[in-house]
Amino acid sequence: MELEIKKDERIDIIPGSDLKIIQNRKKFSYGMDAVLLSGFSSMKKEDRVVDLGTGTGIIPLLLQSRYKPKKIYGIEFQEEVANMATRSVHLNNLDEKIEILNMDLKNIPQVFNSNQFDVVTSNPPYMNKGGGIINSEYNFAISRHEIACTLEDIIEISSFLLKNGGKFFLVHRPHRLVDIVYLLRKYNIEPKEIQFVHPKVEEKPNLLLLKCRKGGKPELKFREPLYVYNEDNTYTDGIYKIYGIDKENTND
């Protein structure tokens, strides 16, 4: 069956892999935060995984490339975006390993039983209700603001899905850290490791990566900060490593 590529769409190679992804040049495409979350996550080959708010499927594709878990489900609310993700999965012949579900994540309990998954990942909308100017383009707005779901929805559903001892990996903004920790503990998920991501050494962090465990004991460990750019605006060795790119073979 010939794969359909629609108007304004393109096929990109995912850095550090032999996988391809379909993206729309006029719509919201995946960013570095998704790649960082995939590199920060960890899982086993026998694990069953759910990615909440999967977008065009970049995180399931990267996780399958890196760790090859048994099965990954990507949950995406936007029909058009979920369709792109499904076609990307098919493009890479990963239909048996990755399944994209076009649905409201709040309806997950109608599809899955509780305590069934080993890992949940999420790169959710960062801006809470009333936070910042909402983009008039719906695709951008729903990807950046808590319109279709809230941070609490993400964490509550993650707790529902995870087995006791299961892991939850999240990328978010540092200014939401207090909200994140409060909600994690409300739903019996304990933050275990945190890493702040800084644009440069002397700049404040603009992202955080968090590893959590359902039913875990209280103890939060801090990983070394991750810096994106050197002073000359080239990527740091840490970024090249996460992307799986050989620095010596680039023009950067």
Interval 23-63: pLDDT, tens: 987 877 899 999 999 999 999 999 999 999 999 999 999 99
- Answer yes or no: is pLDDT of 163 > 50: yes
Length of the chain: 252
Distances (CA, A) of 177 to 29, 151, 196, 210, 234: 25, 11, 11, 10, 29
Q: Treating both helix axes as pointing N-terminal to C-terminal, what angle do 177-186 and 151-161 enclose, rounded to 10 degrees?
A: 40
Q: What is the pTM of this model?
A: 0.90
pLDDT tier for residue 8 given thresholds of 50, 70 and 90: confident
pLDDT given at position 200:
97
Burial class (CB in 10 A: 0-12, 13-18, 19+), 179: middle
Please write the tens of the pLDDT for every residue from 232-250: 999 999 999 999 987 766 6
Number of alpha carbons in the 13 Å side-chain half-sphere of residue 62: 27
pLDDT given at position 63:
97
Q: Do residues 228 and 239 lie in contact, with contact meaning Cβ atoms separated by under 8 Å? A: yes
Q: Which amino acid is at 217?
A: K
Q: Where are the alpha helices (DSSP H) in the chain?
A: 32-40, 58-67, 79-91, 138-144, 151-161, 177-186, 237-243
Taken in order of first residue, the domains within the chain and their CATH numbers are: 10-243 (3.40.50.150)
